[in-house]
């Protein structure tokens, strides 16, 4: 796993973003997780394109200070598209 971004929302929750690697699959998955100020996990989301084993990577994230919405950016390597 590789942490790439950290942000704090209006309620002082911690939002982390990065790459998750699973033993059964060597490809990286995008992951965003939100923790409360005490460190308890509130939720976690993982993204990968089904059937594609190439790397996915989160590069950065931002939390909107008015409504705590999260925007994450990154990339997906797709050899099937010639990338």
Please write the tens of the pLDDT for every residue from 15-70. Answer: 999 887 765 655 667 889 999 999 999 999 988 766 555 667 788 999 998 888 99
Q: What is the pTM of this model?
A: 0.78
Task: Using CB atoms within 10 Å of the CB of residue 12, give its burial: 0 to 12 exposed, 13 to 18 middle, 19+ buried.
Answer: exposed
**DSSP 3-state assignment of 16?**
strand
């Amino acid at each position: 796993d590789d942490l790439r971004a950290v942000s704090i929302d209006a309620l002082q929750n911690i939002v982390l973003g990065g790459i998750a690697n699973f033993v059964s699959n060597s490809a990286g998955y995008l992951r965003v997780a939100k923790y409360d100020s005490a460190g308890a996990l509130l939720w976690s989301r993982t993204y990968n394109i089904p059937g594609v084993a190439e790397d996915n990577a989160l590069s950065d994230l931002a939390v909107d200070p008015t409504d705590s919405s999260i925007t994450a950016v990154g990339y997906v390597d797709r050899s099937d598209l010639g990338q």
